[in-house]
Structure 1
Amino acid sequence: MKKYVLLAATLASFLTPFMGSAVNLAVPAIGREFHLEALMLNWIVTSYLLASSVFLLPFGRAADLYGRKKVFLAGIITYTLLSLLSGLATSGEMLILFRILHGIGGAMIFGTGVAILTGVFPPQERGKVLGINVAAVYTGLSLGPVVGGFLTHQLGWRYIFLLNFLLGLIVVLVTVFKLKGEWRDGRGEKYDPAGAVLYSLGMTALMYGIAAVNSAPHAPWVLLLGVVLLASFIRQELRYRYPLLNLNLFRNLVFAFSNLAALIHYSATFAVGFLLSLYLQVVRGLDAQTAGFILLAQPILMALLSPLAGRLSDRVEPRLLASLGMALSFAGLFLFSLINKTTPLWTIMGYLVLLGIGFALFSSPNTNAVMSAVEKRYYGVASATLGTMRLVGQALSMALVTFFFGLYLKGTAITPAASPLLLKSMHISFLLFAVLCAGGVFFSLARGEVREKEGRL
């Protein structure tokens, strides 16, 4: 059965990053077909990420208590069905609704796939299968721009979702017919419904408030409500015996600052593919297929160098490697804030290579630092926390872009005529992302020595 568990978990880990990076290439085509203005286009990407980040913790905890296979299967069925429905959407509003439901299915997958792998494979095989799983994530990121650009250019954007439907169907069939038994570690513990509600509503209000503050008069109040709800969530978690999120782990500075660094890095880098897809297709007039090949430069470097950076972090202090990676990301983002309509394409690819190297040097060593900062019995919680930081960071990245699009492009369709406003939005977004990375270098360096911590565990 182990090989089928690996197949299901690996395919599921491939699907979500593949679809995310592929849809970025389809955004201009979706906008043209549905006549969507800039803010609506942003929500096609943001809605999925927001739903995923909001429901990851509640579903991850539910899987621990009630069964990971149950939640994983419900997630992959939801994800697969919504892939089909998204490909059949007849309006922008319908597509965004389907993307929200799509994201809920994605949250169920994120919170369970790796946990099932860890539970099925013995410790001596765990590193190998987790390495395969990570390779699937980066393969999805690498193939997404190429396949997404090709499908959009040759067949139409709907085929991206239809391909995800077919691949998801394979995972559903393997899970139903080949995965026997159930996995759960939280027997005897209780679910925290109040924490789940406070977290979900608070995150939704916070992200929506940030994204819509320029386009909706009520958004500042929604943002304030999000802050109040999340403060209440923290109070609830500190008092509840079986919390959704073990906040006591954050008293460990290595763990806390490593997670904060991850949140900052994903917030600063995730929207790069979305912005550059618009830049290459709308400002530069390239087709989706060509734009996809250009965007491939970043994930290829991430896929090639991440395993090397991970191994290097076993010998070199992880915070130093991660901080160097964050610094390179800062440099790449700052350079992107200077591009214009005539910047050579080879220069764009060079900046993407710089970002890819920075991401590789940051991600694996930072993950190593997080997992090395806790005792073995907290590995599951630490992994889920880091996953939450990743998804929240990605959602925040798109929310910030939506904020600047609302500032400069409110009510404007994304057409070549809007290029000056699009460039202005891009420049300020990339500059803010660079500033975030500069601050992230500080937190990355301030986390302390992982090796010293390991010696005390």
Structure 2
Amino acid sequence: MVIVDGSIVAIAIPQISQSLNTATGATTLIISVYLITICATLLLFGQFGDQYGRVRIFEIGTFIFLLGSFVAGVGQVLELVLVGRFVQGIGASMTMANSYAIVTDTFPAKQLGSAFGVESIFISLGALAGPGLGGIILGSLPWGYIFWINLPIGIICLGIELVAFPKSKPQKAKGIDWHGATLLALAASCLYLLTMQLNVHVVVTVLLFLLMILFSWQFVRMEKRATQPLLNLTIFRNAMFRKSIVVAFLSFIVSYFFTILAPLYLQLILNYSTQFSGVLLMVAPVVSMIASPAAGYISDHYNQHIEMAVGMLILIGVQVGLLFLTGKLEPWYFIVLSAVMAAGTAVFGTPNSVLVMQSVPAKLRGMAGSTNSLVREFGLVLGTTLSTVIFYRVLSLLNHREIDTAIGVSKQTFLLAQRWTYAAGLLLLCGALFYIIYAIRKDRKHVRK
């Protein structure tokens, strides 16, 4: 549910925009505030989990997430929806920060690939099924139900957690790094405000960017001196952890380009209904249900770096294919790209998660898991921001005036702006592949020595 709610809003952007009488660009903040709240608090709740029990924090997070879902669904003005999304983000952060560590604590090392393969089913389902599920819901219900659908499912989940999950085993509390948490929250807040000001006020945008850099720098300085840091920076001295995190970060950025643009393409260019668009967007999660366990098996039995490289090559091929979305050969062209994208995501993501979690000692698993989740969510925030900025900036340049909504623009300018956006994503994925190949070659040289 928490992954779904990072993307389910995407397909509802045109409908919410019309319902709340706001531009599609502004409505995208409903996605951003959720993701940025998670970014601001993930490390904090990872530390909470390490000290007060990972399962306990996970369960509390589930309840808070449900509360936020109710508020977001009630909202009839943008501000109230954003408040609900903020509360949702807090709850989602509490679960995300501890899920990787709970899985790693439960399974032996030789089964981690398969375990993360199964977990990747639901991560992939959430990331890819959000727009599809949203489209199906919007086909017969008001947009508020894309949040309210969490309530009955979440109540069942919470009951199962309380009955079936192992009891928390908290360690002796060593203190929480509130100073680091505050600085991280300030940096994330600047990032959120920055996304609101892009393409609006250049001076304010520059100022917020500088403040974000300042708070981030202060956060790093604080963590170096803290007795119990939110982020133990020594974890990045581990080459395997560092390399895996970097390439994952780049892939997460690009994944949201498709999440933001695909629903607009289906509804505004192909004129498909939200319900049919939702069905098409469900292709990827269905394929991922098969691909993720297979990728997990491969990860347990073969070279994980090679598997990552193959997955990245597949994703690059898909990104090239997205450059040629023109409205022709549809919906089959879109279906094939979605299916191959799901396979590439599974083949890349599963071994990446295993490498991240196996590269650190047991006492740092909570921090490694929350850092992995933080990188994913921060990547999604940047993906949302970059895709939105590039897309609407190109639209504005082509129309010789400021454009902040995709509704009503010509098909030709829409497709050209979309192509430029996907081209930027292609460059990022090529950078990730280069880094993977560099890491493989360096590891081989080290083995020879």
TM-score range, shorter chain: 0.7 to 0.9
2:426 to 406, 431, 434: 434
1:202 to 178, 187, 210: 187
The equivalences for 1:195-344 within 5 A come to 195-206=180-191, 208-209=193-194, 212-217=197-202, 218-342=204-328, 344=330
The equivalences for 1:126-165 within 5 A come to 127=112, 132-141=118-127, 143-165=129-151
Change (3 A) 1:348 1:178: closer
Aligned to 2:201, the other structure's residue is in SS state coil
Change (3 A) 1:198 1:59: same
Quick one: which amino acid aligns to residue 198 of structure 2?
V
Give the match for residue 193 of structure 1. 178
Please tell me whether the aligned partners of residues 22 and 147 of structure 1 are also in contact (alpha carbons under 8 angstroms). yes
Deviation at 1:55, TM superposition (A): 1.1
Contiguous gaps of at least 5 residues in structure 1: 1-14
Deviation at 1:440, TM superposition (A): 0.6
Deviation at 1:361, TM superposition (A): 1.4
Change (3 A) 1:211 1:261: farther
Give the match for residue 407 of structure 2. 415
Give the match for residue 169 of structure 1. 155
Deviation at 1:89, TM superposition (A): 1.1
Q: What is the alpha-carbon distance in structure 2 between the residues aligned to residue 116 and residue 374 of structure 1?
A: 15
Over the residues paired in the alignment, what is the CA RMSD in angstroms? 2.9
Aligned to 2:406, the other structure's residue is in SS state coil
Deviation at 1:188, TM superposition (A): 4.7
Deviation at 1:238, TM superposition (A): 1.9
Change (3 A) 1:65 1:216: farther
Deviation at 1:209, TM superposition (A): 2.6
Q: What is the alpha-carbon distance in structure 2 between the residues aligned to residue 146 and residue 276 of structure 1?
A: 10
Aligned to 1:338, the other structure's residue is in SS state coil
Q: Deviations over 1:246-296 (max 9, x none)?
A: 211211222111100000000011231221011101111101111112222
Point out the more displaced range, 360-369 or 16-25.
16-25
Please tell me whether the aligned partners of residues 40 and 92 of structure 1 are also in contact (alpha carbons under 8 angstroms). no
Point out the more displaced range, 150-159 or 165-174.
165-174
Q: What is the alpha-carbon distance in structure 2 between the residues aligned to residue 380 and residue 454 of structure 1?
A: 29
Change (3 A) 1:208 1:343: farther
1:445 to 433, 437, 448: 437
Change (3 A) 1:209 1:122: closer
Give the match for residue 399 of structure 2. none
Please tell me whether the aligned partners of residues 207 and 399 of structure 1 are also in contact (alpha carbons under 8 angstroms). no
Deviation at 1:433, TM superposition (A): 0.8
Contiguous gaps of at least 5 residues in structure 2: 397-401
Please tell me whether the aligned partners of residues 292 and 346 of structure 2 are also in contact (alpha carbons under 8 angstroms). yes
Please tell me whether the aligned partners of residues 14 and 24 of structure 2 are also in contact (alpha carbons under 8 angstroms). no
Q: What is the alpha-carbon distance in structure 1 between the residues aligned to residue 173 and residue 341 of structure 2?
A: 46
1:26 to 1, 4, 12: 12
Change (3 A) 1:270 1:454: farther
Point out the more displaced range, 53-62 or 145-154.
145-154
Point out the more displaced range, 108-117 or 323-332.
108-117
Quick one: which amino acid aligns to residue 18 of structure 1?
V
Q: Deviations over 1:204-250 (max 9, x none)?
A: 32354356332233011111111121122112212223211121121
Deviation at 1:122, TM superposition (A): 6.6
Deviation at 1:454, TM superposition (A): 13
Q: What is the alpha-carbon distance in structure 2 between the residues aligned to residue 116 and residue 173 of structure 1?
A: 18
Q: What is the alpha-carbon distance in structure 1 between the residues aligned to residue 29 and residue 417 of structure 2?
A: 16
Please tell me whether the aligned partners of residues 254 and 448 of structure 1 are also in contact (alpha carbons under 8 angstroms). no
% identity of equivalent residues: 25
Q: Deviations over 1:144-176 (max 9, x none)?
A: 444322210112222221111222222344456
Aligned to 1:344, the other structure's residue is in SS state coil
Please tell me whether the aligned partners of residues 311 and 344 of structure 2 are also in contact (alpha carbons under 8 angstroms). yes
Point out the more displaced range, 39-48 or 203-212.
203-212
1:363 aligns with 2:349: yes
Quick one: which amino acid aligns to residue 61 of structure 1?
Q
Give the match for residue 11 of structure 1. none
Q: What is the alpha-carbon distance in structure 2 between the residues aligned to residue 305 and residue 29 of structure 1?
A: 33
Q: What is the alpha-carbon distance in structure 2 between the residues aligned to residue 244 and residue 201 of structure 1?
A: 15
Please tell me whether the aligned partners of residues 267 and 393 of structure 1 are also in contact (alpha carbons under 8 angstroms). yes
Q: What is the alpha-carbon distance in structure 2 between the residues aligned to residue 332 and residue 284 of structure 1?
A: 20
Deviation at 1:41, TM superposition (A): 2.2
Q: What is the alpha-carbon distance in structure 2 between the residues aligned to residue 244 and residue 337 of structure 1?
A: 41
Q: What is the alpha-carbon distance in structure 2 between the residues aligned to residue 231 and residue 133 of structure 1?
A: 34
Change (3 A) 1:230 1:80: same
Point out the more displaced range, 353-362 or 107-116.
107-116
1:53 aligns with 2:42: no
Q: What is the alpha-carbon distance in structure 2 between the residues aligned to residue 336 and residue 376 of structure 1?
A: 41
Please tell me whether the aligned partners of residues 241 and 359 of structure 2 are also in contact (alpha carbons under 8 angstroms). yes
Please tell me whether the aligned partners of residues 71 and 80 of structure 2 are also in contact (alpha carbons under 8 angstroms). no
Q: What is the alpha-carbon distance in structure 2 between the residues aligned to residue 384 and residue 132 of structure 1?
A: 19
The two structures have a TM-score, normalised by structure 2, of 0.88
Q: Deviations over 1:26-64 (max 9, x none)?
A: 222212212221211211212211111221111211222
Q: What is the alpha-carbon distance in structure 2 between the residues aligned to residue 141 and residue 403 of structure 1?
A: 21
Point out the more displaced range, 392-401 or 210-219.
210-219
Aligned to 2:218, the other structure's residue is in SS state helix
Q: Deviations over 1:410-455 (max 9, x none)?
A: 5544324454444343222211111000001112222347988999
The two structures have a TM-score, normalised by structure 1, of 0.87
Q: What is the alpha-carbon distance in structure 2 between the residues aligned to residue 318 and residue 17 of structure 1?
A: 25
2:66 to 65, 72, 80: 80
Q: What is the alpha-carbon distance in structure 2 between the residues aligned to residue 263 and residue 124 of structure 1?
A: 24
